[in-house]
Structures are given as structure tokens and as C-alpha cells.
Structure 1
């Protein structure tokens, strides 16, 4: 095989990382309530089915138990990843009931690096989990219930953004409303791709918009939103999953 042909194949492979599928680059965020549904049932397989319905490249997942008594010792993220055939990245935020509790990412590709950035949270430890890929980064977070902590978290995320010279997508349960001051602060560096007028919580009759997908404003000319959706499911978790499909240059 000639050298120029090898270079062309390599370039095509890199481009395909962002355009994960011909239909677009698909992202989701889902607070899974430690895999316990509104019916009180623990079920990882139905979570996987909800997510697979959108064929995501990456999913940000919040409220994950790992080997806790509450989930009978299961590694919840690993279990869902196995059902979806995706790569799991877990970030433990605190010990809980004999195991760990935290946030995570499910990715079609293995990241080249993973970063854990502690965030303020007076009621529990909070975290920004970053999966770094060749041409972009994806962050997952679950903000504090306290507004002051959320504002400080946004400032810390804005600081982290300066480290990566590539598009950054931020997803998660942010416990803030679109008209909160911390949302305005975040919008200085990010564009809300999922929409500010959608309701995601509680799942059975949503009244609040607290789950979001954001895109790095510096690279806004590199991608366009093709489709957004709050997936209608009233049982699997107490939140509804949020989905965005992008075209990427």
C-alpha cells in the first residue's frame, strides 16, 4: 500500500471520529437514578434499550452506584455498557453503602485520556468528568443543589475549558433552570444545544429543565444542530434522557 494512500485512510478515520455515523454525531445525557425506575424496579437492561434507541456516540450518565448494597453489589455503569457494547468511564464522587457513587460516560471509542475535576458541593461531592478524544472532549457533570456551588462550578469549568484546544461538549444534570444566573454565566463560553425550553424532570410529568447538552462557543462554526429531543419515558428513571444530533465539519 502506497504512503499517500495510507495517509488518506488515516485522515478519513480521524474525520469519522466526529461524524460517528453518516446520520450525524449523536450525544445524550441521562440521570439514571441508580438504575431504579419510577416503579421501584432496578433494571439496567431497560436503561440500555432507551439509550440504544438513539444510537449515541457518547452518553453522560449521572447518579451511578458501583457495588453498593442499594444495587445488590452491581457495577451499574459496567452492566449498562455491556448491554450497549460501549466503553464505560466512571468517576466516583464518594463512598456509599459499601461501594461507590458517582457519574460516568458511555463511549463508542476509548478516550485517549480521562480527567477528573472536583467541583464544589456542600451536600455531596461533585465532579466534572472529561473524556478526551483526538479531536474533541466530552464532559459529564452533576451540579450541586446549592446555587452558590453551581456558580463556582461554572467558573471552574470555564477555567478547564482553556486547557483543551479542541471542541468541548458539556452534558449533565445541572440542577439549574434556564433563567438562573449560573446558566447565563455558562452561556458566555457555551451554547445550549439541547434547548432551554424543554422539560426533563420529573419523568412522569416534567415541569423543570435541568438536564442539558452544551457546545463550546469557540467552535460553533464547526457543528450544527440537526435534531434535539427529550426522549419520552415515564418509568425507567425519574429524569428523561436528552438527545442531540449534530453535523460536524
Structure 2
């Protein structure tokens, strides 16, 4: 295994995405069935995978639990996915596994993976990642440190028509506020639209950390769970035209809470977070 102190990425192939105006908010079906990505769209999203240890009350770092996460990702047919709560190099977790690579190896769809270690423990680390459809082209990548009791990071990935930023904010409010300020500073350095996707640990839209982002970003995934049982969310995909005037057409979005996966696999037992997605018209 290569040194985990280095930012690890793999460069994919070609991205074709044309961004135009229009926005449809809310869910894309609520019958519990898997909503496939629509033809002519790009599906992006976010999933906190809980270190692939399951949400059954009996955590375990097993191949089966990693496979379960991969099954969810395959079912939702993502093109670009922000992945949080990843680890690499821990002796007690399947002998120094590289979790993002393990997830990618178990999906049926071919993904390239980009890992951004945020907090290091000797030669091991935890961090965030991005899975990218192998047919899409990555132009550049950048990692930016964020504050946290456990260090956090922005993992920035440039595509032809936009930047995609994966992140996982800290639990402390002051650190979230500072993180949002850093996001705003970073997007001023680039001249493309931006998607910010991840677990922001922000459960309402009236606090300072969210309001800082709202100076430029708008939510393109629902702000409440679709099943009506939970009235807020901490997992987001936000969009900023970043001064370009580009206004994409969003063809449905959802926070999956009761997705049927077949067999005995129950979505709520795979992770303690639901996967979220939005379709963007190409």
C-alpha cells in the first residue's frame, strides 16, 4: 500500500455534461422502489457509509458489510458520489484495508476512486472520497484542510463544466462556521459552477454555517426526509453557479430512506445515514 500521507487519486476518462436552466425540487417517487437514473441525465449524490460497519447494533468490519454498501451504490446508479466516513490502513480493520478502493471493487458499475485523507493516525487515516463513473473525465483534484476535533477536509474534483466538492463537516458549530467560510473562499478561486455534497452536520437552514453557504449555494436535494418520519437532514447536495449564470435542469432528487434492495438487506441497517441523489440534465 502506498503511503497514506499522500493525496490519492485516479484519473478517469471523458465527461460530457451540458448545464442549462430549470429546477425541480422534492422527491422522485415515494413507493420505496429504487429510482433508476434517467436517460440523458447525470446522477450525483452523497452517502455517509458509516465505515461499512453496518447499522445493526453489532458493528463489524466485514466484506459483506462493504458489499452491502456497494449494492446500495449500484442500485442508485450514481455517476459522481461523495462518500464520507472512510478509513485506510488500520490494522484492526480487515488488516489495513483501503475502504474506498474496496467499495469500488465490489460495485458492478466501474468506478474510479479519489480518496482524501483528512485525519491521520500514524500510517492510517480517515477521510472523504469521491466515486466517479469511469466514462467521465477528471481534469484536476485538490484537497483543502478543514477544522475539526477530528480533522476534516474538502475534496475538490474538477470536471469539464463544474467542480464537485465532497466534504464532512465537524460536530462542533464553530468549526462548521469556519468550514463554510473556507468553502466560500475556495470557490472564489475557480470560475466554474460548483456542487457541494456531503454530511454537513447542519440540521437546519437558520444557523450561521448554512447561511454563509446560502450566500452562493442553493439546495438541490430535499431538506427533509421523504417518509415524513424525520423533519430535517444533515446530508446535502448544494449548487452554486459561482457567478457564471449557469442554471442546470434538475430532473428529480431524493433522500432514500426505505429503498427496497431485495433479500434480507435493509437500507437502514447498511448505514446510519440515507443515500441522497439528484439527476442533472446533460
For normalisation by structure 2, the TM-score amounts to: 0.75
1:222 CA drift (Å): 2.8
Separation of aligned partners in 1, 2:14 and 2:55 = 41
The answer for the alignment partner of 2:233 in structure 1 is: 209
1:11-60 superposed Cα distances (whole Å, 9 cap, x missing partner)? xx977245897341101101111111112243211111101112111010
Tell me the secondary structure at the aligned position of residue 71 of structure 2: helix
The answer for the alignment partner of 2:93 in structure 1 is: 71
Paired residue for 2:142, among 105, 115, 133? 115
Paired residue for 2:117, among 85, 89, 92? 92
Separation of aligned partners in 1, 2:155 and 2:279 = 21
The answer for the alignment partner of 1:83 in structure 2 is: 106
Whether contact under 8 Å (1:114, 1:130) holds in the other structure is: yes
Separation of aligned partners in 2, 1:45 and 1:17 = 30
Separation of aligned partners in 1, 2:245 and 2:165 = 17
| Residues 80/171 of structure 1: CA separation in 2 closer, same or farther (3 Å cut) | same
1:220 CA drift (Å): 6.3
Separation of aligned partners in 2, 1:125 and 1:15 = 31
1:208-239 superposed Cα distances (whole Å, 9 cap, x missing partner)? 41000011144564312211111222111111
| Residues 96/238 of structure 1: CA separation in 2 closer, same or farther (3 Å cut) | farther
| Residues 221/189 of structure 1: CA separation in 2 closer, same or farther (3 Å cut) | same
Paired residue for 2:221, among 182, 194, 199? 194
Separation of aligned partners in 2, 1:155 and 1:47 = 32
Give 1 or 2: higher helix fraction. Answer: 1
> Cα RMSD over matched residues?
2.4
Separation of aligned partners in 1, 2:76 and 2:111 = 14
Separation of aligned partners in 2, 1:131 and 1:186 = 19
- Number of equivalenced pairs: 231
